[in-house]
Chains A and B, each alone.
Chain A
């Protein structure tokens, strides 16, 4: 049984995959948990270093994907060295995706309820989010992929427009050299470990169409191009992260640690013609991006679970994800606001293990399994 039999006709282009990854990353950047806001120049260096580390972490996965018909999860074909390894790796990726969905839900919930809608009914908000996410997941990857470029467009327009409107409040005197700060190397590495998009890529690379976009023919020798999505995603997200950090520091300066969401505060200062405050525009774009990210994570979870289950039980993957989703939503509903659950120090071990498993062990076992399968067929 082939992994592709899970979603026989759902194929997306590498542009769409890149858009999905970018929407996910930019949503995190504009709704980062308040504890991560800091007035510090070292964030420029840590962001840049995290880009370098991420490139290194993605490289084994990209090499394996490009040599394996563009599919990271091809070990679902049964070609892993052992079934146990398949289950362990699949389980680790699944765990990380559960963490990602809980974090995204918290970011969405807190960002909405602490900013533009403090009187929002939490139960209705969570219920509507649940229904929307489940409906989006049921439509498959293509539906999300079609919305992603639109969502990305609105996010970028919102950020660019707000940046233009703040031109008179930007004071570069608030920017200074970070050269005397400590811990930037470690900070960059920690930031790279928190990257969720690597796991999304690992689960979704098999959905990317290998057909060359410039020709209408599907050739059996056409090259897989899912790796190109990462080559688009990484630099753009790095540039947006650096720009947002510059904007936060240059506009808010030492005021930044005193407020909850820097991007929201800046958006509420921004005025344009008849729009007195741009924060509503920003929050709308953030809600769409947040919902899309959560839908995407559930699609990935379904893909991983289907990969782990025997072929006869592929359809149970959907049911399993619905159950996981209900549990996650219920758990997130009860998480107390302001509780910095997900940034406690011991989480770094979780990040390290899951990242090592996906970025390093998965491609290595994939190569081993592939060469084993080659030997068997020869």
Chain B
């Protein structure tokens, strides 16, 4: 009896080999691991662009011919993805997607709806990064860099650079949605843009299409129309979205202080002039806390507490002055100014990137319940007091 049970169990287990027998049954070699996804909407037509690798296991081994970008169109996301799949004859596997890009038209209206549709249909895992693009996401996925092809590593690096320089926060999908589901209904999405650069050699190779040639059913395009210029992709600030509509597109200068407030990067930098000399300090071990300070009036007052350690990276004459009280005060003033310039305009627009709602609810629930119904208007009138403490080390 034991042997019979064991044999039966082994037989049944053998029959379960493979990923399953659901209709339609898709073998592993029929699946495509998607790395990047771009979504555009124009005249109610969805265009989905998908970049994937053709099979090299290590990034170092990938060449341009290993990457492919394919697009599909449809009346909704489902149909657009199905159109892309049908031109390729394979099934997409979205669980390893690194970044979801939204085109400019999607950012203007319906970004949150598109993100939710993406989660519903493509993959219910909300870990990929999200970014917008000033133009069509389809073009972004097909650009060539100056000498090399476009792929997820390069775009991820651009996003990481933008994050580390404080131009925009590096958000993944669930962080954007968490922010959008708050009472303020606001969220921030980092934005990229492209700039043309001259190709010094006049090299006309690879005008922006990383897909294989010869596939007539492949509708992925983005050609540079035969000219020899290349593009570079740079961070371009932050899109503030409230109730699924674009309210403001913030420039890098306007959003430059985000890395100080959001604690998303290990190191930030601050520039100011000391005794007529440009000085740059590297700021690390930073900690920002925004807590309600006064909660008995009509408008809440928040205290911004910032502590950090700073190191001078540029000003060789400065070493003796590093422990000077005046220098410390100037540093703290520069930090306060940067925080004020970043924080207050964003809050006045109605954007709550800084968890003010959560902070107020956590520290003073009774006061929050009074303001809950009018929170959006109250948020715009919030005031801030700054308490900065920066320790300078040589």
The chain A residues found within 8 Å of chain B, CB to CB, are 117, 119-125, 127-128, 131-132, 135, 171-177, 179-180, 252-255, 258-260, 265, 268-269
Contacts and interface: CB of A to CB of B under 8 A. Distances in A.
A131 B21 CA distance: 19
B21 A254 contact: no
Nearest to A131: B9
Interface in B160-200: 174, 177-178, 181-182
A10 B163 CA distance: 62
Given A173-B355, A176-B362, A124 B16 contact: yes
A135 B181 contact: no
At the interface, is chain A mostly helix, strand, loop or mixed?
Answer: helix
B156 interface: no
Interface in B120-149: 124-127
B157 to A, nearest CB: 19
A133 B368 CA distance: 52
B217 interface: no
B358 A173 contact: yes
A165 to B, nearest CB: 13
A334 to B, nearest CB: 16
Contact of A128 (B12, B116, B365, B366): B12
B294 to A, nearest CB: 18
A119 B21 CA distance: 8
A252 B174 contact: yes
Contacts of B358: 171, 173-174, 176, 253
B371 to A, nearest CB: 14
B178 A252 contact: yes
Nearest to B365: A177
Nearest to B19: A119
A121 B355 contact: no
B57 interface: no
B124 A124 contact: no
19 contacts: A119-B20, A119-B26, A120-B20, A121-B20, A122-B22, A123-B21, A124-B12, A124-B16, A124-B20, A131-B9, A171-B358, A172-B362, A173-B358, A173-B361, A252-B174, A254-B182, A255-B126, A259-B124, A269-B127
Contacts of A122: 22
Contacts of B60: none
Contacts of B13: 128
Given A120-B20, A135-B5, A173 B359 contact: yes
A125 B21 CA distance: 11
Interface in B12-41: 12-13, 15-16, 19-22, 26
A121 B16 contact: yes
Q: Which 9 A-B pairs have the closest CB atoms?
A: A173-B358, A121-B20, A254-B181, A121-B21, A255-B178, A119-B20, A176-B361, A124-B16, A176-B362
A135 B1 CA distance: 11
A180 B13 CA distance: 53
